[in-house]
Structure 1
Amino acid sequence: MIYKHIILDLEGTLFTSEKFKERTAQLAIECVSDFFDITLESSDILINSKKKELQLLNGYKPALSFSLLQLGISLNNWASYQSKAEFTDIINFNQGLNSFIKELSSKYNLILYTNMCSELSFKILQHLQIRKYFDPIITPQYLGTVKPNLEVVNHLINNKIIDITTTISVGDRYEIDITPFVKLGGKGFLVNQEKSLYSLKYFLNEK
């Protein structure tokens, strides 16, 4: 199989940090608390309740941004909170990642697709020194929606940004990062404890 386009997720794929997850989760609690004028404790309960509801409905654990959207929180409102997340003390520059992404960019068109807001995404990519290797960078502000969503994949196809038959989507959540591309004819590569991001190069070289 000859690939031309690689879609990469950000958090959980290009970097992993439990502390970062905790910080964004706390910001989500503050966002919902302010929006509904309720206590932080009530906000936490409301978010977890919505997550459980969506998981029962869809069969998989929903993304935080999607859960907030279903609660009525606008993308711009959530972005104003999410962009405050501190990360420089827990996400370090990784020379190995930098070299790997640089190498991939010399052979493939790299596209970043994340549920993280634009401002925070750009800051983290700049911090990791890999922002210049991605075009386009797709955040919720790109088309006003979050993953998983076939609308974004169709947009990429219809505007000839990708040829779906030569596209592979890479992420740590199959239903969210990969399924929409596979449904329309692309391939997927799931990053987990058994398969690291760096093992992607062996997958790409398979005949």
Structure 2
Amino acid sequence: MTIYRIPEKPAALIFDIDGTLYTNAKYIKEQTDCQIRRFAETRGFDVKKARKMVKSYREEWAKLHGGKRLSLGNVLKDMGVPIAESIAWRKELLDPAPYLKIDKKLNAALARLAESYKLVCVTNNPVSVGRKTLTALGADPFFSGVIGLDTCGISKPDIKIFDLAAKQASVSVDSCISIGDRYDIDVAVPLEMGMGGILVDSVRDVYKLPDVLEIR
């Protein structure tokens, strides 16, 4: 866990979902690969070629942007796949149920956090997929809202997404902490906005958050 900033009086925690509220490399990989397979199918590419295209594009983009990472939704958008099409693919293809199960340690931590903060999720998946993931983990009751790719048609790390999360929580931007597993996607922009930021290595770090934030 890397703590970049904690506001003096935090009021809301903005959580990423995938790779943050659970750790499951197989499901994370499948989320990406199923979309690349659909991209190949709809565009008439060989799947291996499509995988190489996405990898090469990300590598070139990173070289031009100081090593930053680009979300898959934005990669596909740059390759001619409208966000609306990406949203439809994700709704159809992504199913967390076979990969995830109720996490009692996660829910115990979230229950403690929810006593002191408003909890909001921001995901680059559609809201329905985010909710399915939270339900599979048993975590849905602790979150007041989920902002997804279909909420406003843009994906993280766009500043509008994080601004919307603060508004949904009815708090000021500088009283929020953004928590996620990818610095460039989940933490960098919130820090620039004046939010707090915590980078987690796995869900085990989320288990520790109540103690990190000194919740009694």
Confirm or deny a common fold (TM above 0.5): yes
Using the TM superposition, name which of 76-85 and 87-96 deviates more. 76-85
Tell me the residue number matched to 1:137: 146
- Matched residue of 1:196: which SS? helix
Deviation of 1:173 (Å): 1.0
CA offsets per residue over residues 134-175 of structure 1, 9 Å max, x none? 122110111110010112233445677331221111011112
Q: Is 1:33 the counterpart of 2:24 in the alignment?
A: no
Tell me the residue number matched to 2:77: 69
- Matched residue of 1:179: which SS? helix
1:78 aligns with one of 80, 86, 99: 86
Using the TM superposition, name which of 76-85 and 51-60 deviates more. 76-85
Q: How many residues align?
A: 205
- Matched residue of 2:14: which SS? strand
Tell me the residue number matched to 2:62: 55
CA offsets per residue over residues 37-63 of structure 1, 9 Å max, x none? 222122112111211122112222222
Aligned pair in 2 of structure 1 residues 37, 162: CA closer, same or farther (>3 Å)? farther
- When normalised by structure 1's length, the TM-score is 0.89
- When normalised by structure 2's length, the TM-score is 0.86
Letter in 2 for 1:15: Y
- Matched residue of 2:100: which SS? coil
1:15 aligns with one of 22, 25, 44: 22
Q: Is 1:170 the counterpart of 2:173 in the alignment?
A: no
State the distance in 1 between where 2:174 and 2:120 align: 15
Tell me the residue number matched to 1:114: 123
- Matched residue of 2:55: which SS? helix
Tell me the residue number matched to 1:183: 192
Deviation of 1:87 (Å): 2.9
State the distance in 1 between where 2:165 and 2:180 align: 18
Unaligned runs of 5+ in 2: 1-7
Deviation of 1:189 (Å): 0.7
Backbone CA RMSD of aligned residues? 2.1
Q: Would the aligned equivalents of 1:189 and 1:200 in 2 still touch at CA under 8 Å?
A: no
State the distance in 2 between where 1:136 and 1:110 align: 8
Aligned pair in 2 of structure 1 residues 155, 86: CA closer, same or farther (>3 Å)? closer
State the distance in 2 between where 1:103 and 1:50 align: 42
1:202 aligns with one of 176, 186, 211: 211
Tell me the residue number matched to 1:42: 49
Tell me the residue number matched to 2:3: none
Aligned pair in 2 of structure 1 residues 157, 114: CA closer, same or farther (>3 Å)? closer
Higher relative contact order (CA 8 A, sep 6+): 2
Unaligned runs of 5+ in 1: none
Identity of aligned residues (%): 22
1:100 aligns with one of 106, 109, 118: 109
